[in-house]
Amino acid sequence: MRPNAELYEQDFYAWTQEQAALLRKGAVQDLDLANLAEEIESLGKSQHRELGSRLDVLVLHLLKWGYQPRERSGSWRSTIRTQRRELRRLLQQQPSLRPLVPDAVADGYPDARLDAGDETGLPLATFPATCPWTPEQVLDADFWPEGT
Q: What is the pLDDT of residues 47-57, one digit of tens each?
A: 999 999 999 99
State which residues form the domain around 127: 53-139
Q: Is residue 25 part of a domain?
A: no
pLDDT at 147: 60
Query: Is 91 inside any structural domain?
Result: yes
User: What integer is the mean pLDDT of 98-115?
Assistant: 98
User: How far is residue 47's CA from residue 53's CA, in Å, rounded to a whole number?
Assistant: 10
- The answer to whether residue 22 sits within a structural domain is no
| Of 147 and 65, the one with more pLDDT | 65
4: in domain:
no
| Half-sphere exposure for 77 (CA within 13 Å, toward CB) | 6
64 belongs to a structural domain: yes
d(CA 135, CA 118): 23
> Cα–Cα distance between 80 and 65 in angstroms, integer?
9
40 in a structural domain: no
Domains in the chain, number: 1
Give the pLDDT of residue 146.
87
Asked whether residue 18 is domain-assigned, the answer is no
> Among 95, 94, 107, 118, which residue's Cα sits nearest to residue 55?
107
- Do 60 and 141 meet the contact criterion of CB atoms below 8 Å apart? no
The pLDDT of residue 5 is 76
pLDDT at residue 8 above 90? no
Percent of the chain with pLDDT over 70: 97
Tell me the C-alpha distance between 83 and 126, whole Å.
Answer: 24
Residue 65 forms part of a structural domain: yes
